[in-house]
Every structure is written in structure tokens, then in C-alpha cells.
A and B are shown apart, each in its own frame.
Chain A
Amino acid sequence: MRPFQYTKVNDASAAVQAVSANANSQFLAGGTNLIDLMKEDVACPVELVDITRLNLTQISTVAESGNLSIGALAKNSDTANHPVVRQNYPLLTQAILAGASGQIRNMATNGGNLNQRTRCSYFYDTAMPCNKRELGSGCGALEGINRYHAIFGWSEQCVAVYPSDMAIALAALDAIVQVQRADGTQRTIAFADYHRLPENNPEKDNSLNPGELITAIELPTNNFADRSYYLKVRDRSSYAFALVSVAAALEMDGNQIQQARVAMGGVAHKPWRALEAEEFLTGKTATAANFQAAAEAEMRQAKPLEHNQFKVELGKRIIARALMQAMNDGRA
């Protein structure tokens, strides 16, 4: 770990000012990801701006829209267990609780969760090539061990996957990211535009500009609460990142699917909205055969790497199963 300066701020404008003033400074929230990266010399900020005192922990309904606003500094645990989240967005509760461990969720914040970095082993090992860590050094995983890596949307520059569970549910729920700009003004980013594919700039995980602070995440109202399900398959029963995960939500009109949302984790550099599957399902009946066909439709475009071909078949099965579970016991 390198020497760094530590600053604790009290409000959002001080935070964005401090970070935008110094190209090598970063926000410190729960620290569960950033500190690890610093210990490994992967993140080398010269200044940490501690934002944990910021008053951004509220979870409350926005009067005009009825959206639920979740503070960027609310803890993952508190978010998952908030009565309104449990009641109206059980998919989010399930996704958060499927991630990490109780201790980590107690430390982790919602903003930090969105901005957590990939778990690609080459990214973590400074002796290895990695374009995300050091642009131009090559992608170690492309021809290395890539069992955990992407099957959608990767580029030759980077095949990493984005590791968050929470964000997969947020993608399915069409969340909106509230951001405070460096100049103090606010902007919003639609969730689908928040994280990005690697293309030629894998060093950039998302569309935040330097110094921009996430202040809240908004969840639009929806009719999915009774029919949603988060299903995660991993290498052990808990406390492991997803091999593949699926957030599925259905809005029914009688027996007909009015609207389907399917987002996948562990398959791409960003939460992967399974738009093919969603489109296929719209207007169809909720049958195993249709769920299966939707899954097939989505996975047709998958491009697996040497060690992750299993994700294609696994992905199909998880989509179909998650939809079925959403239909049958989404509230369970």
C-alpha cells in the first residue's frame, strides 16, 4: 500500500470539490472494495475522500413521482431489509442478500456497490497484463483462465465481468442513478447507460465523469412485486460471486405476460439486460416452454471463451428457472 492523504468531508459539495480538484483522488465509502484494491497496489489514489459522513443514507419515497429513492450511502444490509424495499422491490432484497456476506453487506454502501470493480484475477495481480488496470498492457484473461469471464459484449481488450448482484436487480427494475456533478449540479443516468461495455476503454467501468458523486438510486414504481425472482448460481452455497445470475420480473395480464424483465449477472462487463428474451415473452403465456424459448433466444448471441462455455447452457437454464420461480413463488 502506498502512502496517501485522507480527507473526511461533511457534505456532498465538499466531496465533489475535493475529488475533482485532484485527478488521483477517490471517494471512500464502505471501503470493502477500494481498500482491498489499494492493498494490492491495483488502486493507487494519492488522496481518499471519506464520504461516510454525508447525509445520503435515506431511503424514502419521492413525492412527485412515487419513486423510491435509495441513498448512495445507505448500507447494503439496511437497503435489503428496508420495509418498503421488501414490500415493493423484493427482487432487490433478494439480489443484495445473495451477495457477499453479512459482515460485508453491513459495511458496503449502495454507491460503492455500483462502482465495485471486476474480480478478474489478472486485474488484481500487478505482475499480469491487464488493460483495465494498465491500458495497453494486454488482456491476461483473453487467452488465460477465463472461466469467470464474459460471454456477451466483450472486446479483445477486456473480457471481464461486472460482479455486483445488487446491480442486476437494479438493471431489471430500470433504476435511475442520481449524480452530483463536479460543479455541484445534478444529473440522472438511466441504469442501462450507467455501466458500459469494455470496447477500447476497459479502464472505464461506467459513465461517471471524474469527480462525480452518486447521491441516490431511484426505483420507479412497477407491478413486479408479486412476480420477481433473483437466482444466482455459484461455486459454493453462499459467499461467492456469481457464475451466472438472473433477475427476472413479470407483470401479468391474466395468463398473458404484459411485461417481462430479465437481467443477467456474471456474463458481461455490465448488467446484461436480456432484451431478446424480454421481447420474446411480451404478450406470450407464462409457460415453461415459452420461458425456455425466451432463454434460448437470448443465449443465441453468446460468445463464450475457452473456459466458460458452460455459461451458455447454464444461462439458459437459469433464465428459464428464474422466470418460472418468479411466476410461481416470487414472493417466497
Chain B
Amino acid sequence: MTETGKPIDRVDGRLKVTGAAKYAAEYNQPQMAYAFPVRSTIANGTIASVDTNAALQSPGVLMVLTHENAPRLKALDPQELSQAGGRLGENLVPLQDGRVHYFGQFIGVVVAETYEQARHAAGLVRVAYAEEKPAIDFETELLKGFRPETAQGQPAQLNTGQAAPLLAAAPVKIERTYTTPTENHHPMELHSTIAIWEGANKLIVHESTQSVMTVRAVVAYFFSLKPENVRVLAPYIGGGFGSKGNPWTNIVLAVMAGQAVNRPVKLVITRHMMQTNVGRRSETKQQVALGAGSDGKLAVMRHHNNSYSNLTQYFERSGSPTEVLYSAPLREITYQVARLNIGASTFVRAPGDAPGSFALESAMDELAYELKIDPVEFRVINHTTTDPLSKLPYSSEHLIECYRTGAEKFGWARRKQQPRQTRDGRYLVGYGTAAATYPASRASASARVRLAADGRVIVQSATLDLGTGTYTIMAQTAADALGVSVERIAVEIGDSDLPPAPVSARSITTASVLPAVLAACEMLRKDLMQLATADAKSKLNGVNPAEIIFSDAKFFARSDRSKSDSYSDILRRNNKTALEACTTAMPASGSGLGAPGASCILAPTDSEENSDAQKYSFHSFGAQFAEVRVDEDLGLIRVKRFTTVHDVGRIMNEKTARSQIIGSVTYALGETLMEETLFDKRFGNPVTRTLADYHVPVNLDVPPIDVHFIGKPDPHISPIGARGLGEIASVGVAAAVANAVFNATGKRIRDLPITPDKLL
């Protein structure tokens, strides 16, 4: 392998920085109209009446749709939708009835000649409600909440009630409550749709999505279209962080509007709608109890998890790091979920593990202090090489190496265990650490590769690049698999007409799509070699394929390099303009794609791969180290530097990988220090309305981030050995910082975000 791992620049970098890469909202169409949603101004109740007269009379308005006149779509049957490969962020179909479930819900849409006209007229729609008291207060509603039975097919409640006796008996223990606030994803690119109907049965949708396949399934479902008649395009998207993983009501609304006015329609939501209509991470309240022997060995871990949810089965699995880390003989993990009149909770970068690790890894630090053991050593003492729940060994696990590498690079040895020992002028200085873990998932994915006689290669898959580097590492993978330089390879993704790939979420893209690219390339290479060895005119005629090597778009006989044949020559002699291969790579876990009828979905599974899921547990690991300076008088924290070490299998591209880690740490620093969506309990409206009051980090908040990878390929995840890395570095950051704040000040912060008021 020569290209794989190299820190090459993004192949789409130039397009992006020059503005040539087009995003969904930029595909303006002739005759295009603009849609702007009408939103509920209450959080619970029903619409009593709607008056659209003023809006209809407003200049440029083509149509106003509300539940009173909107077309009836196919009724939602989540089971049926899921069988068709579709999922929704919230189980809500817009404008089908007058029920209001949350503030800001789409209850109408205005379509007009211009965006400004549509937006203005949307404000003229008068709505009267029969209002009911909304359930907004998390604490109150938790009591009335429910205990979910399953989570992703597994029992959700684990060893309920069993920890208490062990905790009572433990010589050293702590029990603490930690909270994390509601957070919104806020990618730069707003959710955007351009829906273009081509007649009554065919549709093109430009969409900012993390899954063109899911959008296709959802649109086909509600508008009763054949999936192959819906083409969803998203060649570039400006981030998603989970908010574009499942389709939300804005997509259905845009397609409906396009159908109603029989013109292409654009719908771009506002930043405020990003807080109400496209999901959020629920607030969590977590009670963690840990008991240990005086030798520092954990005897029991208990993690009670509380969150809220609405219109979905999804709930925040904040107990997830507690399922994976440490060798305690017993762990009790429970969940309670409140139903609130707030839009659906959904996955946000490192779902479950990000808030969960704040609680678990803060508690580990607290217990390390009780035990008077260095927090790194405490984690090493309790290290486990097998999955504590399934008892399977990890597929590839180098967590202790992460701790050790991180400690060395960071200079952990300089840390003083006692708080308040280090000062720098008026600042107190503190060091903190935390472990990180994230599930290493992989799903089925398909890829097609096409080699043209001019030597150019096209690699295709209906996967996406969220800005992560997918284009680049697909090209690198194909380059090595074919012996062709990266410059000759064009990657095409983000198109539902291409071979299907899973949603780009859960850090699965690298682990899922690259094996498909590799498999397709190998298939193509084999076919091409066959053409050569069978061809009397080839110098390789009759050579044993096992003796043939390849590079520079040529085959060579291993023993005699003068015996060679170029790809182009082979194709030309065989009168072929191109050769193509397409295949599906199935993961160890074998989860299907659910997109029937799609091209090359039914390639054979590799049986050897499949058996691994029963033998290994797949997770990534990491260690986080933070240095903070605290001005305790004013409650100001500066994270001074950050060291982050990850064991995520093979690194496909040093540079894009590093960028992902820096981005993840930055994202998590936002959640640690400032991000919080606040709701007014009377009205259910988010009072943090825009990025002026929902703060994300500015440059000054982000220190130099020192990134290290273990880089050992995972022999079991795939023949490539790469696990995903888009989320893991967001795990443990909050705890590392909070632990550093404690080390600096002696003050334990158990409620995120750590704003100045909490430190006073």
C-alpha cells in the first residue's frame, strides 16, 4: 500500500475553497419557487382555525398549504417505512392533521416567487389554537416518564436493582449526579431541499443529507412513488453531526410544495428552525455510583440515565460507555425517559457516549481522588480486554497504549494530585484526563468501479462526504487496489442512483464503504488480469495470476518485470472502452441495507468475515488529556492545551483523520464550556435562538490540539482494518476538562456547560 495512510490533501479541497463545490441549495432551477414554513407558536394543543387570506393576497404568493388543504400522504407505518429502507427523525408527517406537538412545528407552508415573499407571507398566516398545557419541565415529567425496554434490539435495562448490596459493601465508593443540557447540532449548512418533479411519478431532490438512500425511501414512501423514480443528490454537504442522518419534516414539506405548485421548489430552513425542527441531544441527568476495594479495583458500577424524548423511539443512551469500559464484575445500567413537548431527540455526534462519558469519567476521577490513586493508573488497574457484557474479546484494543502515549506526550507526570497546587500568575492550573470509547460499527455497502481505456477510473457509491474526507480516502483505497495514481481516480458519491451505501452516521462510513471499494477494485483487477493472461498478444499470456503484480496502471510478472501489460493496452486489444465491477461488502455484523432492487446489492458475503461478529466485540478507544487555566475570581476557564490519542484501527489518511479528531475535540469543547439550548417552560420555545446566543467555540476557545493515533489495523473489522473516527474524539473531552478544573481549583463541576456562573 502506497497511498493509504498518506496525508494527501483532500481531492475535493480545491473545489471547496474556490466555491465550485455545489451544495443542495445552490442548484437553482428555471421557474423555481420558494417555500417557507409556517410554524406553531404553542407547544401543545390543536389548531382551532387558520386564516390564510392575508398571506394569499401578499405579493408573489402562489399557494399556502396547511393541514386544511394539504394533500393527504400515505399514512405513516414506521414498520413498513423501515422495511422500505426509510426512517424519520420524528414520527410526524407534516400538515396531515391539526395537532401541535411542540413549539415551532411546521403547520403550514407558503410558496411564492421569491424567498422574501414566502417568508413575509408566512408571517401573515393567522392561526388560532386550542392550547393545552405543554410538558416542558424535565424534572417533573421524568417522574411520569417511562423505562424503555429495548435499545437497538438489546435489552435497555441491565441488572436493575442489583448494584445496591455491592455498593453497600464496597470499602470505597462515590455516588454523584451529573447533568448535561439540551444541545443542537448546528452544522454550518442549513437543511436545504430543492424538489424537482418531473411529471407526476418522478422526482429529483437536492438535499443536504447524511443519507441519500434514506431520503429516497422516505420520499418514495409518502408520495407513493417507485424508489427508482426518486433521485436524491447530495454531492457535498456542509456538516451534519447527526441532524441530517434521518429525514425531518422539512423534506416532505418541500416535496409536497413542489407537487402542489407543479414547479421546482426550494426550501431552506432558518437557524432558529435548526433548534426546533431537526432534532437535538436531550438533556441528561445521570446518577453514577462506583464502588471499589481499597486496592482500587472496581467492584460495581451503577449508571442511572434520564433523558427526554418525543415522537420517536430514540433516547439518549448515556450508559453506553459504562457498558464497555472497566472490569467491574457487576454493572447496573438503567434508563428513564420523559415525554416532553419538544421536537424529537436524536443522535448528535457521539450519541450516548459524549454525555455518558462526562458522567462516568468524572465519577472515575472522583473515585481516584477518594482512593488517592493517580487517575491514569486507576484506569489501568481497571482495564478490561474483553467486553464486560458480551464477554467477547475486543477485536483490536490498545487502550493502555493510548493512556501511556497520551500521558507521555502531554507531560502528565508533572501533574500534582492535590488540587490548587499549580499557579501561573492569577490563574490556577490543572490537568485532567478521561478515557474515550465508541462503538466500531460497520454496515453493508456497495461500490462500483469503472476503468476506462484512457486509464481513468471512476469509483462510485451512494455514500456521502460530510466534509470528513470520504472522497479522498475512497480515491486512496482505489489507487492502491488498482495500482493507479490518485490523480487518475474520480470519486462519485452522494447520488441515490449509485450503488447503495449506509447512512453516514455512527462513524461507519470508512469501515463500511472502503471494503466495498476494495472488493470492487479487486474484482475489476481480477477480470482485467484474466483478459491479459488469456490474450495471446499479451506478454503475460499464460502467466500464473498468482505471479502477477501491479503498479502504474500495469501488470508485471513478478519474476520478470519486462513481461508487462498496461491496463489501457489490455482494454484496447479487447475492443473495450471500459471495464466495470460492482459489489457489496458485508460486515461482520451483517446488518442489511434494506434498499431492495438497488444495483449490485446482492453480491455474496464473505463467510470468513461474517464469523467475526460472534467472536469479537468491536469498539474504538482513546485517551484525552486537558490542561486548563482558571481565573477563579471571574469564573473564566481557558483550555490551554489538549492531547488526544486514539486507537481506531488503520489510519487511511493522516491529514483528514487528524482534521476529524481536531474537529471532534473542538465540538466537544463547545459542549463542555458553552453549548446549551434553553427552553422557556411556559411556552416551550428555545430562548437560545441563533448562533448569537447558542454559543459555539471561537478560535480563542480552542487550544492547540495534539493528535496521536495508535494506527494498528483492526484485523477483524474488515480486510482494510480501519474503524471510523468521526465521533470518538468527542467522547471524554468534557470529563477531561472538568477533571482538570477540579485539579486546578478543588471545585467539582457536575453540570455542563461550565460557564462562568458555575465557577463562582
Most central of B116, B638, B693, B701 by chain A CB within 10 Å = B693
Is the beta-carbon distance between B693 and A119 smaller than 8 angstroms? yes
| Distance in Å: Cβ of A315 to nearest Cβ of chain B | 11
B59 within 8 A of A: yes
Is the beta-carbon distance between A124 and B689 smaller than 8 angstroms? yes
Is the beta-carbon distance between B688 and A121 smaller than 8 angstroms? yes
| Distance in Å: Cβ of B426 to nearest Cβ of chain A | 9
Q: Which stretch, B82-90, B174-182, B577-585, B629-637, touches the partner chain A?
A: B629-637
For B673, give the chain A residue with the smallest CB separation: A236
Check A310/B123 contact, CB under 8 A, given A233-B636, A236-B674, A238-B698.
no
A2 within 8 A of B: yes
- Cα distance A319–B425 when bound, in Å? 20
Check A313/B760 contact, CB under 8 A, given A140-B680, A233-B635.
yes
Specify which chain A residues have a CB less than 8 angstroms from the CB of B700 in the assembled complex.
236-238
Is the beta-carbon distance between B634 and A321 smaller than 8 angstroms? yes
Is the beta-carbon distance between B701 and A1 smaller than 8 angstroms? no
Is the beta-carbon distance between A1 and B695 smaller than 8 angstroms? no
| Distance in Å: Cβ of B222 to nearest Cβ of chain A | 28
| Distance in Å: Cβ of B629 to nearest Cβ of chain A | 12
- Cα distance A55–B683 when bound, in Å? 47
Interface size class of A (residues with CB under 8 A): 20 to 34
B757 within 8 A of A: yes
* Chain B, 647-685, CB within 8 A of any chain A CB: 673-674, 678-680, 682-683, 685
| A 6-24 to B, binary, CB cutoff 8 A, 1 in contact else 0 | 0000000000000000000
Per a CB cutoff under 8 Å, which of A2, A125, A237, A238 touches B120?
Answer: A2
- Cα distance A140–B635 when bound, in Å? 28
Per a CB cutoff under 8 Å, which of B638, B680, B698 touches A144?
Answer: B680
Check A233/B634 contact, CB under 8 A, given A126-B123, A239-B698, A243-B756.
yes
| Distance in Å: Cβ of B43 to nearest Cβ of chain A | 11
| Distance in Å: Cβ of B683 to nearest Cβ of chain A | 7
Specify which chain A residues have a CB less than 8 angstroms from the CB of B389 in the assembled complex.
none
- Cα distance A243–B693 when bound, in Å? 12
Per a CB cutoff under 8 Å, which of B685, B695, B760 touches A235?
Answer: B695
A183 within 8 A of B: no
- Cα distance A144–B680 when bound, in Å? 6
- Cα distance A68–B624 when bound, in Å? 53
| Distance in Å: Cβ of A103 to nearest Cβ of chain B | 12
A122 within 8 A of B: yes
Specify which chain B residues have a CB less than 8 angstroms from the CB of A3 in the assembled complex.
59, 120
B692 within 8 A of A: yes
Is the beta-carbon distance between B756 and A235 smaller than 8 angstroms? yes
| B 696-709 to A, binary, CB cutoff 8 A, 1 in contact else 0 | 01101100000000
Per a CB cutoff under 8 Å, which of A1, A234, A321 touches B633?
Answer: A321
A275 within 8 A of B: no
- Cα distance A163–B123 when bound, in Å? 27
* Chain A, 150-198, CB within 8 A of any chain B CB: none
Specify which chain B residues have a CB less than 8 angstroms from the CB of A121 in the assembled complex.
687-689, 693
Determine chain B's interface SS by DSSP, over half rule: loop
| A 199-237 to B, binary, CB cutoff 8 A, 1 in contact else 0 | 000000000000000000000000000000001011111
Chain B residue total in the interface (Cβ 8 A): 34
| Distance in Å: Cβ of A65 to nearest Cβ of chain B | 37
Is the beta-carbon distance between A240 and B680 smaller than 8 angstroms? no
| Distance in Å: Cβ of B594 to nearest Cβ of chain A | 39
A63 within 8 A of B: no
B755 within 8 A of A: yes
- Cα distance A124–B760 when bound, in Å? 30
| Distance in Å: Cβ of A324 to nearest Cβ of chain B | 10
Check A236/B123 contact, CB under 8 A, given A1-B116, A128-B683, A144-B682.
no
A314 within 8 A of B: yes
B41 within 8 A of A: yes
| Distance in Å: Cβ of A116 to nearest Cβ of chain B | 12
- Cα distance A126–B116 when bound, in Å? 17
Is the beta-carbon distance between B634 and A317 smaller than 8 angstroms? yes
For A318, give the chain B residue with the smallest CB separation: B634
| A 113-144 to B, binary, CB cutoff 8 A, 1 in contact else 0 | 00000010110111110000000000010011
- Cα distance A310–B687 when bound, in Å? 19
- Cα distance A173–B634 when bound, in Å? 24
Is the beta-carbon distance between A235 and B120 smaller than 8 angstroms? no
| Distance in Å: Cβ of B83 to nearest Cβ of chain A | 39
For B757, give the chain A residue with the smallest CB separation: A310
- Cα distance A134–B647 when bound, in Å? 57
- Cα distance A159–B123 when bound, in Å? 27
- Cα distance A236–B638 when bound, in Å? 9
| Distance in Å: Cβ of A93 to nearest Cβ of chain B | 19
> 20 extra interchain contacts, Cβ-Cβ under 8 A, other than A145-B678, A237-B700, A321-B634?
A3-B59, A119-B692, A119-B693, A121-B689, A124-B689, A125-B685, A125-B689, A128-B685, A144-B682, A145-B680, A231-B634, A233-B636, A234-B756, A241-B692, A310-B756, A310-B760, A313-B760, A314-B635, A314-B757, A317-B633
Q: Which residues of B contact A (CB under 8 A)?
A: 41, 59, 103, 116, 119-120, 123, 633-636, 638, 673-674, 678-680, 682-683, 685, 687-689, 692-693, 695, 697-698, 700-701, 755-757, 760
Selected A-B contacts with CB under 8 Å, 18 pairs:
A3-B59, A121-B693, A122-B687, A125-B689, A128-B685, A144-B682, A145-B680, A233-B636, A235-B674, A236-B695, A236-B697, A236-B698, A237-B698, A237-B701, A310-B757, A310-B760, A317-B760, A321-B633
Which 4 pairs, one residue from A and one from B, show the smallest C-beta to C-beta distance? A237-B700, A310-B757, A127-B41, A121-B687
Q: Which residues of A contact B (CB under 8 A)?
A: 1-3, 41, 119, 121-122, 124-128, 140, 143-145, 147, 231, 233-241, 243, 310, 313-314, 317-318, 321
